[in-house]
A = this chain, B = another copy of it.
Amino acid sequence: MKRVFLTVSYDGTDFHGWQLQPGVRTVEGELNSALLTLTGEEILVIGASRTDAGVHAKGNVAVFDTESTIPAGRFSYALNTILPEDVKVVSSKEVPEDFHPRKTNCVKTYEYRIYNDVMPDPLKRRSTWQVPYELDTAKMKEAAALLIGTHDFAGFCSVKTQAETTVRTVTQVEIEEISEEKEILIRVKGNGFLYNMVRIIAGTLADAGSDRRSLAMIKEAVEEADRTKAGPTAPPQGLCLKEIEFNEMVKDRENE
């Protein structure tokens, strides 16, 4: 028996999110089904991040146990011949049998992409949130600075959360202007995120950039953990889970 670690990339548009649900198309469902075809085993993968419907990923993570003789590093190639074109395995490797992607410390990087123009762009509709009013990135950066640190992020979380604690550490909230594309990229790094947290951060920063919400109110949303003082939940298609770095992996890399 070995435990295999997959880095998974997908276009979330046509999925009902990551998590297995009967009767609908999910990323987890496609992975389980491809593994059944490949190995003959009824495998249920364990995902690192259960992304919502419409949310994309460049580097989500799934692990599973198998008796298969296929070398761990070959699973990516073998699975990609079976998987549909909107979900692919970027790489695969063996990990210790006790490695669990939701119980291991990690740093997650999300990117939220805003398309800031009055006119809709058909080529950006699946991967951006179109904001038709002007956004001042200087103000967005000021608001972003208020979010960095260890805070109770209950104000930036959907009521649906089942988390035991709403305290999280956000180490980076970066605002990047991609002028030639009329895009604003929000890059958020942290050790864990609450339900809808990055999308609420994006909605709040857009509010700051358009003067719909003052810096004082955003400061209160953080300090008082008050959902009514944070901004709206930005739509899913602008969000992409870029990378998950596990502490073990970071150590591995340092030893190389």
Contacts and interface: CB of A to CB of B under 8 A. Distances in A.
Interface of A: 9-11, 56, 58, 76, 80, 85-88, 90-91, 119-123, 125, 127, 240
A186 to B, nearest CB: 17
B85 A123 contact: no
Contact of A9 (B76, B85, B122): B122
B120 A80 contact: yes
List the number of copies, as a whole number.
Answer: 2
Nearest to A58: B123
A122 to B, nearest CB: 4
A123 B127 CA distance: 9
B91 A122 contact: no
A92 to B, nearest CB: 11
A55 to B, nearest CB: 12
A122 B80 contact: no
A174 to B, nearest CB: 14
B120 A85 contact: yes
Max count, chain B CB within 10 A of own CB: residue among A76, A85, A87, A122: A122
A11 B76 contact: no
A123 B11 contact: yes
Contacts of A86: 122, 125
Contacts of A240: 123
